[in-house]
Chain A
């Protein structure tokens, strides 16, 4: 009862304060215009008439994230991986492996399991379409990867961790996938430079379309009539792999059965005493 009184007082306070503010001050009204910088971004996100300024991607957010402010996103990826590496380091010494014997049936009921056999496929498909169409529609590597990481969580909860481990989704394979993703991001970032070195022209790191100082080097915007926006498609694809694998590792480690961790710690202590 006391909770409800508090919430009602809070809501009434908010409503009255907003009424007073809205009637007296005019500052909270939104502008019908955006900043000049934003107009430039919107104008040059897909502008095939002047190749020196455009990113050749109809999606302004993706062109900002991976072209106009590409270096910034590389550092954001670094922050993301520092957090993931921190989580993995905290769980060091806990090996992810199958138990010697499993008693009884693991996981939830048959109905939930049957539904869960279908749903992760759909989740992965949606995540792939979000990531691979990131340069055409809202979405991109980060969102696609975060969506794809939901599928292993679902399987972890419904089937148990051993179901995933038995099928090869373990820490090492996910670390490999993550490394492939990060290496791919690095190669794509240096692709223009490598092409420039091979052909003897100037080029920039993280370059996509030709620039005034490097007019001869560019990554193709169209491949076989399909718009791939140069480096953006590759960045989205590799970021998708890296984010999905990174989250899967952390989810695998966080759902470790406590009993298993404790027996492992005990065995390690005993082995240490023997030595």
Chain B
């Protein structure tokens, strides 16, 4: 027998796998360059969410997991630090995702620029039209 939370978690992960598939389909088979870029951002966000789930930690005995921020640092109490270490989630995937989002935004802007340039030269963002032209 499964609990409701396990079922929801499985739905989430299945949805993300389907999302990956849809995003890859969009990147490979959509002819419109803008739609390709949108699919690429969806792909990146799904990969980031996967990274976050890898570092997540289940609630222990109904106590929620904490973000990796030690808010009681002013007390200088080693006991609170031990409790923090036992309940906080993994900070490493979050640190990776943090930079991945901003770099993803920069790369997206670069791709948008490329598309803009293609539109200025060819008057089209459709790959089928651009492929037919030469030069």
- Chain A residues packing against B (C-beta within 8 Å): 10, 14-15, 17-19, 21-23, 28-35, 37-39, 41-43, 45-49, 58-61, 64-65, 69, 73, 76, 79-80, 83-84, 86-87, 90-91, 136-138, 140, 142-143, 145-146, 227, 243, 246-247, 250, 253-254, 261
Within the assembled complex, what's the spacing in Å between the Cα atoms of A15 and B11?
Answer: 6
Complex contacts, A19 vs chain B, CB 8 Å: 7, 10
In the complex, are the beta carbons of B90 and A38 less than 8 A apart? yes
In the complex, are the beta carbons of A83 and B91 less than 8 A apart? no
Binding site secondary structure of chain A? helix
In the complex, are the beta carbons of A80 and B14 less than 8 A apart? no
In the complex, are the beta carbons of B110 and A48 less than 8 A apart? no
- Chain B residues packing against A (C-beta within 8 Å): 2, 6-7, 9-11, 13-15, 18, 53, 55-60, 67-71, 73, 76, 78, 81, 84-85, 88-92, 94-95, 98-99, 101-103, 105-107, 109-110, 112-114, 116-117, 120
In the complex, are the beta carbons of B99 and A142 less than 8 A apart? yes
Within the assembled complex, what's the spacing in Å between the Cα atoms of A58 and B103?
Answer: 25
- For A38, give its contact among B9, B91, B103 (CB under 8 Å): B91
Known A-B contacts A31-B57, A46-B70; the reply to A90 vs B117 at CB < 8 A is: yes
User: Please, could you name 15 A-B residue pairs with CB atoms under 8 Å apart, sorted by A?
Assistant: A14-B18, A22-B9, A28-B9, A34-B90, A42-B85, A42-B88, A42-B91, A46-B81, A60-B68, A60-B88, A65-B99, A83-B106, A145-B102, A247-B105, A250-B106
In the complex, are the beta carbons of A90 and B113 less than 8 A apart? yes
With A29-B9, A47-B81, A58-B69 already in contact, 13 other A-B pairs whose C-beta atoms are closer than 8 Å: A10-B18, A18-B11, A29-B58, A34-B55, A41-B91, A42-B85, A61-B95, A65-B98, A87-B109, A136-B69, A140-B98, A146-B102, A254-B109
In the complex, are the beta carbons of A137 and B99 less than 8 A apart? no
Complex contacts, B13 vs chain A, CB 8 Å: 18, 28
In the complex, are the beta carbons of A58 and B15 less than 8 A apart? no
Within the assembled complex, what's the spacing in Å between the Cα atoms of A28 and B2?
Answer: 12
- For A17, give its contact among B14, B94, B105 (CB under 8 Å): B14
Within the assembled complex, what's the spacing in Å between the Cα atoms of A31 and B59?
Answer: 9
Within the assembled complex, what's the spacing in Å between the Cα atoms of A69 and B73?
Answer: 22
For the complex formed, measure the closest distance between the CB of A169 and the CB atoms of chain B, giving whole angstroms. 17
For the complex formed, measure the closest distance between the CB of A171 and the CB atoms of chain B, giving whole angstroms. 14
- The residue of chain A having its C-beta at the shortest distance from the C-beta of B87 within the complex is A42
In the complex, are the beta carbons of B10 and A18 less than 8 A apart? yes
- The residue of chain A having its C-beta at the shortest distance from the C-beta of B2 within the complex is A22
Known A-B contacts A34-B57, A146-B102, A246-B106; the reply to A61 vs B68 at CB < 8 A is: yes
For the complex formed, measure the closest distance between the CB of B101 and the CB atoms of chain A, giving whole angstroms. 8
Complex contacts, B84 vs chain A, CB 8 Å: 42
For the complex formed, measure the closest distance between the CB of B5 and the CB atoms of chain A, giving whole angstroms. 9
In the complex, are the beta carbons of A43 and B85 less than 8 A apart? yes
Known A-B contacts A32-B58, A34-B90; the reply to A73 vs B99 at CB < 8 A is: yes
Known A-B contacts A28-B13, A38-B92, A143-B102; the reply to A83 vs B107 at CB < 8 A is: yes
